[in-house]
Amino acid sequence: MKLIKLIGLAMTSLILIAGCSQAKKEFTYEKTNKTIDHIHGLGIKDSNLYIATHTGLMKHDGENWYATTGNNHDYMGFSMTKEGFYSSGHPMEGSDLKNPLGLIKSTDDGKTLDKLAFYGESDFHYLTAGFESNAIYVINQEPNSELKTGMYYTLDEGKTWESSKFSGIESDSIGNISAHPKKDKIIAVSTKDGLYLSKDYGNNFDLITDPFMVPAVLTLDDSIIYSTLDGKGVHLFSQNLNDETPTEISIPDLSANNPIMFVTANHENPDQMAIITYANDIFITKDKGENWTTIAKEGKLE
């Protein structure tokens, strides 16, 4: 399998691998006003927005921000599911966990972490899981004890892995990957040269947009939400999985220097969405873009 150069989008900044000291208290979510720095993923579950940073998880309940009091790890490849989340990354400073974390899972909002595969071996920056299927895809950038470089998927939470051919993607820079919430064969990959879709476990991909930069992507039941950056500026689109005609979603006024890097939606109520920009501006909507609320500006919580 040909592994393309995973340099991320040109707009993407270097992610610093760091941690912070853990408070000596019981794990919970407490109200916070801290500034968000590096964001590595997001998801919506039970109408709450969760954000993974390199200093732990944060949550917004529609009114207030909360941060975890423990397990403040550098979560990478964060992917929310109906049961909880899958992730990878690095343990916080002072933790007795091995570095890197490999593939981990939590079903209690991060209070406990199940070590599923490659614990102490791999840090998956590109990781996605089906919201209901729990099919997990990763792009492995460094060989480990079992996997070479390339795209792989597992349907049993890391017990066994299958290699994807990753054929058809004509780009040297990936933004995000997104697994279909229910159909384990479907996965989308955003690149600086367009959005690609596979319906056969990542073996063969087709370009389903014009070849412009697509930083962010989210796969829903029957559609794909993705952001673009081209000569016309920053945009957000919804496109049916079986139709190449996109529908534009209204978004706040954003400059070309501040594209949408992450997008998520409530799988049980897709009208509830959230977007995060390059400058760490965070917006939420309850009506699929008719009205947006700013909940962070340049990482400063509102």
| Full-model pTM | 0.92
Cα–Cα distance, 106 to 150 (Å, whole number): 25
Structure confidence at residue 22 (pLDDT): 40
Closest Cα partner for 209 from 228, 188, 194?
194
Structure confidence at residue 244 (pLDDT): 81
Cα–Cα distance, 1 to 6 (Å, whole number): 14
Cβ neighbours around 184 below 10 Å, total: 20
DSSP helix/strand/coil, 155: coil
Q: Facing residues of 150 across strands?
A: 140
Residue located via tokens 């480990």 = 144
The two three-digit tokens of residue 149, written as one number: 């470089």
Closest Cα partner for 11 from 233, 257, 275?
257
The 10s digit of each residue's pLDDT in 65-82 is 999 999 999 999 999 999
Structure confidence at residue 24 (pLDDT): 54
Structure confidence at residue 129 (pLDDT): 98
Can you list the residues of the chain whose pLDDT is less than 50? Answer: 1-23
The dihedral of CA 68, 73, 215, 11: what is its sign?
positive
Structure confidence at residue 4 (pLDDT): 47
The 10s digit of each residue's pLDDT in 186-220 is 999 999 999 999 999 999 999 999 999 999 999 99
Structure confidence at residue 201 (pLDDT): 98
Structure confidence at residue 164 (pLDDT): 98
